[in-house]
Amino acid sequence: MKTTDVIRQQLQEHPVILYMKGTPEAPRCGFSAKAAAVMQSTGVDFAYVDVLSSPLIMQALPEVSDFPTFPQLFIKGEIIGGSDIMEAMLASGELVPMLNEAAS
């Protein structure tokens, strides 16, 4: 299976998934730490992939998402964006309803 197919399968299997550097408990970059904190503050369950432990996914994901940097949040298979976008959506009240709808 090609790496892009693995990514598409992950996006299909997980309504909310965060591709990040490290884990939510031990992020390995400031942006991933911010993204994990945003997600944890919502109380919504989410899947994650540590791209540092999965270099093929790290290399192929920007091709799938057309988004060049990490972290990357996907909701129902659609790219939402990185930590700055996530913070702005949380502050505006947009993020939690989208997450709740996807998780239900």
Binding-site residues: 29
Q: Which domain holds residue 20?
A: 3-103
For residue 52, name the pLDDT band (cuts at 50, 70, 90). very high
Domain count for the chain: 1
Q: Structure tokens of 56?
A: 């093929």
Instruction: Give 80-100 pLDDT, tens digit per residue.
Output: 999 999 999 999 999 999 999
For residue 103, name the pLDDT band (cuts at 50, 70, 90). confident
Cα–Cα dist 4/85, whole Å: 24
Report residue 21 CA to chain centroid gap. Answer: 10
Binding-site residues for [2Fe-2S] cluster: 29
Is the confidence at residue 104, as pLDDT, over 90?
no
Mean pLDDT for the chain overall: 96
> How much is the pLDDT for 1?
84
Q: What CATH number should be reported for the domain holding residue 48?
A: 3.40.30.10
Instruction: Give 62-78 pLDDT, tens digit per residue.
Output: 999 999 999 999 999 99
Torsions phi, psi of 70, nearest 5?
-120, 145
